[in-house]
């Protein structure tokens, strides 16, 4: 019997290599787990029955184009859209022999922090199905935590890999901007979007990173990672310097239970030999969110202009071209993409461009600089990943600003283009808390080393209590 709730991708690789199991049996075990638990969790929008590949199966967020398999980005406007090509990351997974398990749920166009904006209904948190799994990549996170996939890929624009990983007790990496190809990804905000892995252990995340990273001629923003990705094996933190932003203390948004788990883990890092000090990010937590909510919607309004009923998905009837496009977009987009299109178009309009979009770009440069300054003295910056644990479905759905605030701690480093790793660091009221490690550009190996040592020392059980 394969215990899909516990099996790591690394262990699964070992079973395959020693021929103790076949890839088909492994895939079938996850498919059976999906049949059993996905009716409750709704992590998947679509599942694949055939096992194509001889490796460890994988779940892909539904913003990743998959040849011959419907790809909707959680939106009605892309329902029925079946790509004729694979995104580069999907092709790399295929080339590595990873069979696809299915496409996972996401907030529409990856806009949201709970999956409640998905046009196909929300996913639920395996730790407590009355709560959200986070978002926008809540489907992948719920699948991994619920034993419905050993690992998966998400996309992170402002926190969509890190935040759901934290809320579901997984490890998730947002790689350095430009190290993983965006070719074939349903674009949200192109200067921020990055694809990255979610799994149960830091080593699994490192392994999957090594599979997907690398220069891609089809995405001119990509570069070869200057250091090959290594699987971490160190158990101490000697010689590593961790910076805790002094501004965290005054952030009322951070729940007390999250603070306790975070501070205990920082103490543990000290015991493991890390040198812990205070760093300063004076602008990040004050201006990060407003800056992001100008830049991301501005880019989204331009990226989403392509959905006009002509090339992708369903078309609504209308009298003439203009009316057809208007109706298609009105019927096809949900409330959140519409809100972002309006915000972004406004921020880019003549007369307001300098005051909003231009100003936000300047603030972004300042955020890049303050992270660079902090990371001159420290190997990584540490914060909680999310200010809160998983919240009940519906709690923030009616209040866009409350939803946007979920990403208070994840957004600034995304604007700075830096890698961020979320690792579980404890429980608060029985729900997972995540710790975020931010590194300099291309600092993935250091983040993996720190995350792995903490993971070992903490020894947390990744399986949700109610499923043990
Ligand atoms: N929650 C943020 C937003 O709604 C981030 C989403 C993401 O990273 N894709 O934009």
Q: How would you class 399 by CB atoms within 10 Å of its CB: exposed for 0-12, middle for 13-18, buried for 19 or more?
A: exposed
The model's confidence at residue 312, banded by pLDDT at 50, 70 and 90, is confident
Supply 197's token pair. 């892995």
pLDDT value at residue 278: 98
What is the residue with the minimal CA distance to atom 10 of ligand 1? 111
113 Cα to the center of ligand 1, angstroms: 6
Q: Is the CB of 243 under 6 A from ligand 1?
A: no
Q: Is the CB of 172 under 6 A from ligand 1?
A: no
- Mean pLDDT for the stretch of residues 182-201: 98
Q: Which of 118, 123, 155, 160 is catalytic?
A: 160
Contact (Cβ atoms closer than 8 angstroms) between residue 421 and residue 392: no
**C-alpha to C-alpha distance for 7 and 9, rounded to whole angstroms:** 7
**341-360 per-position pLDDT tens digit:** 999 999 999 999 999 999 99
**418-465 per-position pLDDT tens digit:** 999 999 999 999 999 999 999 999 999 999 999 999 999 999 999 999
- Ligand 1 atom at minimum distance from 135 CA: 1
DSSP symbol at 44: E
233 Cα to the center of ligand 1, angstroms: 32
Nearest to 143 by CA among 25, 55, 30: 30
- Ligand 1 atom at minimum distance from 159 CA: 8
- Mean pLDDT for the stretch of residues 166-190: 98
Supply 419's token pair. 């890698």
- Ligand 1 atom at minimum distance from 155 CA: 9
Supply 219's token pair. 């995405």
188 Cα to the center of ligand 1, angstroms: 9
What is the residue with the minimal CA distance to atom 5 of ligand 1? 158
Q: Percent of the chain scored above 70 by pLDDT?
A: 100
Q: Is the CB of 222 under 6 A from ligand 1?
A: no
The model's confidence at residue 383, banded by pLDDT at 50, 70 and 90, is very high
- Ligand 1 atom at minimum distance from 403 CA: 1
Q: Is the CB of 303 under 6 A from ligand 1?
A: no
pLDDT value at residue 380: 98
Q: Is the CB of 53 under 6 A from ligand 1?
A: no
The H or E element spanning position 67 is: none
In order of 53, 65, 423, the CA distances from 214 in angstroms are 21, 18, 24
- Mean pLDDT for the stretch of residues 38-59: 98
pLDDT at 1 over 90: no
Pairing of strands 100-104, 420-428: unpaired
Q: Percent of the chain scored above 90 by pLDDT?
A: 99
Q: Is 160 a catalytic residue?
A: yes
pLDDT value at residue 346: 96
Could you write out the DSSP letters of every residue in 158-210?
A: SSTTHHHHHHHT-EEEEPPTTSB--TTB--S-TTT-EEEEEESSHHHHHHHHH
Residues near 200 by beta carbon (within 8 Å), at least 6 away in sequence: 8, 9, 144, 150, 151, 170, 171, 462
How distant is the alpha carbon of residue 95 from its chain centre? 23
Q: Is the CB of 343 under 6 A from ligand 1?
A: no
pLDDT value at residue 311: 87
Q: Is the CB of 379 under 6 A from ligand 1?
A: no
Looking at every residue in the chain, the average pLDDT score rounds to 97
Contact (Cβ atoms closer than 8 angstroms) between residue 236 and residue 451: no
432 Cα to the center of ligand 1, angstroms: 20
- Mean pLDDT for the stretch of residues 89-101: 98
Q: What is the pTM of this model?
A: 0.98
Q: Is the CB of 179 under 6 A from ligand 1?
A: no
Q: Is the CB of 299 under 6 A from ligand 1?
A: no
114 Cα to the center of ligand 1, angstroms: 10
Q: Is 118 a catalytic residue?
A: no
Q: Is 136 a catalytic residue?
A: yes
pLDDT value at residue 224: 95
How many residues does the structure list for the chain?
A: 468
Q: Which of 136, 155, 181, 413 is catalytic?
A: 136
Supply 377's token pair. 């003295």
- Ligand 1 atom at minimum distance from 160 CA: 8
pLDDT at 238 over 90: yes
111 Cα to the center of ligand 1, angstroms: 5
- Residues 209-220 as b/e (b if ≥16 CB within 10 A, e otherwise) read bbbbbbebeebe
Q: Is the CB of 111 under 6 A from ligand 1?
A: yes
pLDDT value at residue 366: 98
How distant is the alpha carbon of residue 44 from its chain centre? 16
The model's confidence at residue 175, banded by pLDDT at 50, 70 and 90, is very high
- Ligand 1 atom at minimum distance from 156 CA: 8
pLDDT value at residue 313: 87
Supply 279's token pair. 């760093």
pLDDT at 414 over 90: yes
Q: Is the CB of 420 under 6 A from ligand 1?
A: no
Q: How would you class 227 by CB atoms within 10 Å of its CB: exposed for 0-12, middle for 13-18, buried for 19 or more?
A: exposed
12 Cα to the center of ligand 1, angstroms: 32
Q: How would you class 124 by CB atoms within 10 Å of its CB: exposed for 0-12, middle for 13-18, buried for 19 or more?
A: buried
């Amino acid at each position: 019997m394969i215990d899909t709730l516990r099996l790591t991708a690394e262990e699964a690789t070992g079973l395959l290599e020693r021929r103790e199991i076949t890839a088909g049996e492994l895939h079938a075990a996850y498919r059976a787990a999906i049949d059993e638990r996905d009716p409750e969790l709704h992590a998947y929008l679509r599942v694949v029955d055939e096992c194509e590949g001889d490796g460890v199966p994988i779940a892909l967020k539904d913003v990743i184009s998959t040849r011959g398999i419907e790809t909707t980005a959680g939106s009605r406007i892309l329902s029925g859209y079946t790509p004729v090509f694979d995104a580069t990351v999907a092709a790399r997974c295929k080339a590595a022999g990873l069979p696809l398990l299915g496409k996972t749920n996401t907030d529409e166009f990856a806009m949201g922090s709970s999956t409640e904006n998905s046009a196909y209904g929300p996913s639920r948190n395996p730790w407590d199905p009355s709560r959200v799994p986070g978002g926008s990549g809540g489907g992948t996170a719920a699948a991994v935590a619920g034993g419905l996939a050993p690992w998966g890929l998400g996309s992170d624009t402002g926190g969509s890999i890190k935040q759901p990983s934290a809320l579901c007790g997984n490890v998730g990496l947002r790689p350095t901007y430009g190290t993983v190809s965006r070719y074939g990804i349903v674009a949200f905000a192109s200067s921020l979007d990055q694809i990255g892995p979610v799994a149960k252990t830091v080593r699994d995340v490192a392994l999957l990173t090594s599979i997907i990273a690398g220069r891609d001629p089809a995405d001119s923003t990509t570069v070869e990672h200057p250091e090959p990705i290594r699987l971490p094996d160190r158990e101490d933190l000697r010689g590593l310097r961790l910076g805790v932003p002094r501004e965290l203390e005054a952030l009322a948004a951070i729940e007390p239970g999250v603070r306790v788990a975070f501070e205990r883990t920082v103490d543990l890092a000290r015991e493991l030999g890390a040198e812990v000090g205070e760093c300063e990010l004076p602008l990040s937590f004050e201006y990060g969110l407003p800056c992001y909510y100008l830049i991301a919607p501005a880019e989204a309004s331009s990226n989403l202009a392509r959905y006009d009923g002509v090339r992708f998905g369903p078309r609504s009837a209308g009298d003439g071209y203009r009316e057809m496009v208007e109706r298609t977009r009105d019927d096809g987009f949900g409330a959140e993409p519409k809100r972002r299109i309006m915000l972004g178009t406004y921020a880019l309009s003549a007369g307001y461009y300098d005051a909003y979009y231009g100003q936000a770009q300047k603030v972004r440069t300042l955020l890049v600089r303050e992270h660079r300054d902090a990371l001159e003295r420290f190997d990584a910056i540490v914060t909680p990943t999310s200010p809160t644990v998983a919240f009940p479905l519906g709690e923030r759905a009616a209040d866009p600003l409350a939803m946007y605030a979920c990403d208070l701690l994840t957004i600034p480093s995304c604007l700075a283009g830096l890698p961020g790793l979320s690792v579980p660091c404890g429980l608060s009221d029985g729900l997972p808390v995540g710790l975020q490690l931010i590194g300099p550009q291309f600092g993935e190996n250091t983040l993996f080393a720190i995350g792995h040592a903490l993971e070992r020392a903490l020894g947390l059980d990744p399986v949700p209590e109610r499923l043990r």
